[in-house]
Structure 1
């Protein structure tokens, strides 16, 4: 019988906070020793326990920056939308309409449709917020953001979108926009958040997706008709904002005929 198979004397346990280490897992030096020894390697800074502190700091910074923001709506859309695209103009209209209704506008802080919503909010005299993310192909926040927070971690950033928003308005977009859209739908579906309207802007763009959800997912039984009813689609910024306001006041109307994801 070798040493690893013999009974272990618990008095030899090495405790590192709630973590217990034995045998070969016992470190040769303490955390304090590594911290204070300038001659040591810096690799430990990149380990998972240290990342937890970075993650914690992102939540603290995000909560601190947005805690006094007041009513806000998150607007999502493609970073690839050009300034002469009709979707860009739609984003500006959405941003301005939200400000006129008393909301700050939160976007991912990037270019394209996000920039458009920030621009509309800023020019309407409202608060324009950008929650940026570290990506290899996007640099910095757009020029129309007047309150910005940059994140390393997607999940910390997504928490801020949901925690400080009264709803989502989703402009045409790609994978990132779809990720944010379906995460929001899932949170509402599973009752992780309540009274959280989700409005798609651009009937022509989104209709194919809604048809697939109805004809394939609903038909296969992987979603229900009530799940589809969580989504409304419109071309009118004023209608989109009206849906947000009505839900925020606890009196959300039935979506106008043909405006939602009708399973029939």
Structure 2
């Protein structure tokens, strides 16, 4: 939900770990803010930062435990400010439905807008609908279509889960948070920090300017290469987005199976040669 001025409106409560807070109980700063704040004159930070490491560790453990059996999944990103009557809401719903029908769980940020629409489409199609929530300085809450929800204090822990358990990303129109997630995925794929997986942008009218900038000033100055432009697929039809992810995932699995078979054949040939020697 959003208010008339576009600011996310109060949702179902503010999560702080296992604790639910509402109204006057909501803190004015987040855990990320406190972690990244510059230490003041007091030396208390020397004691508190070490303990934060334990909390960060627990977020990773809890996230890994909750998502370990999700199976094949695709992360869907987009604006929290999109209302149900907006065309982008319908697009996201179709993306979620298509992914579920193709056998994928749908992972979103768990909030309203595009996230809620994708979760709704997946849930109504009988798929697994996953939400990875984040502590924010305003109430947002987990949308009602999330079947499996995990709340995080730290953005970096949450972003790891988006990547670790996904076979691809589908990105609908969004703001700074969506851009952050998109560029995180692009950087990880470009630098081969993750196995190359598809990144699909939905909405030519929204994304075309960004891709033209990539292909123009960014590439012309040598900041990226021609191949980097191929990391992104741009579509208008949600069905095309789903089909691209499915085809890419199938091709990757086939390549992995072929590599395993080739390795096994080479080992068998080496064993036969050793036996005949």
TM-score range, shorter chain: 0.7 to 0.9
Query: Residues of 2 paired with 1:45 and 1:122: CA distance?
Result: 46
1:216 Cα deviation after fit? 1.2
Query: Residues of 2 paired with 1:74 and 1:138: CA distance?
Result: 23
Query: Residues of 2 paired with 1:232 and 1:246: CA distance?
Result: 13
1:46 Cα deviation after fit? 6.9
TM-superposition CA deviations, 1:84-121 (whole Å, max 9, x none): 10000000000000000000000000110001000000
1:139 Cα deviation after fit? 2.3
8 Å CA contact 2:112–2:140 kept in 1: the answer is no
- Counterpart of 2:95? 94
Aligned residue pairs total 210
Structure 2: state its 5+ residue gaps: 1-43, 254-277
Query: Residues of 2 paired with 1:108 and 1:45: CA distance?
Result: 33
1:62 Cα deviation after fit? 0.2
Query: Residues of 2 paired with 1:117 and 1:124: CA distance?
Result: 11
Query: Residues of 2 paired with 1:247 and 1:140: CA distance?
Result: 33
- Counterpart of 1:136? 137
Matches within 5 A, 1:196-235: 196-235=197-236
User: What TM-score do the two structures reach when normalised by structure 1?
Assistant: 0.77
8 Å CA contact 1:195–1:248 kept in 2: the answer is no
8 Å CA contact 1:74–1:161 kept in 2: the answer is yes
8 Å CA contact 1:195–1:247 kept in 2: the answer is no
Query: Residues of 2 paired with 1:189 and 1:103: CA distance?
Result: 24
- Counterpart of 1:58? 59
- Counterpart of 2:264? none
8 Å CA contact 1:44–1:50 kept in 2: the answer is no
Query: Residues of 2 paired with 1:60 and 1:149: CA distance?
Result: 12
- Counterpart of 2:26? none
Q: Based on CA coordinates, which of the two structures has the bigger radius of gyration?
A: 1
1:242 Cα deviation after fit? 1.2
TM-superposition CA deviations, 1:160-211 (whole Å, max 9, x none): 0000000000000000000000110000000001131000000111001111
1 or 2, which has the higher helix percentage?
2
- SS of the aligned residue for 1:247 comes to helix
Query: Residues of 2 paired with 1:237 and 1:46: CA distance?
Result: 50
Query: Residues of 2 paired with 1:250 and 1:57: CA distance?
Result: 36
Q: Which stretch shifts more, 238-247 or 69-78?
A: 238-247
- Counterpart of 2:152? 151
8 Å CA contact 1:168–1:199 kept in 2: the answer is yes
1:138–1:198 Cα change, 3 Å: farther
Q: Do residues 180 (structure 1) and 181 (structure 2) align?
A: yes
Matches within 5 A, 1:1-264: 47-250=48-251
Query: Residues of 1 paired with 2:117 and 2:157: CA distance?
Result: 24
Structure 1: state its 5+ residue gaps: 1-42, 253-264
Which contiguous aligned blocks of 4+ residues in structure 1 show a shift greater than 6 angstroms?
Answer: 43-46
Query: Residues of 2 paired with 1:53 and 1:163: CA distance?
Result: 21
1:45 Cα deviation after fit? 10
1:237 Cα deviation after fit? 1.4
8 Å CA contact 1:81–1:87 kept in 2: the answer is yes
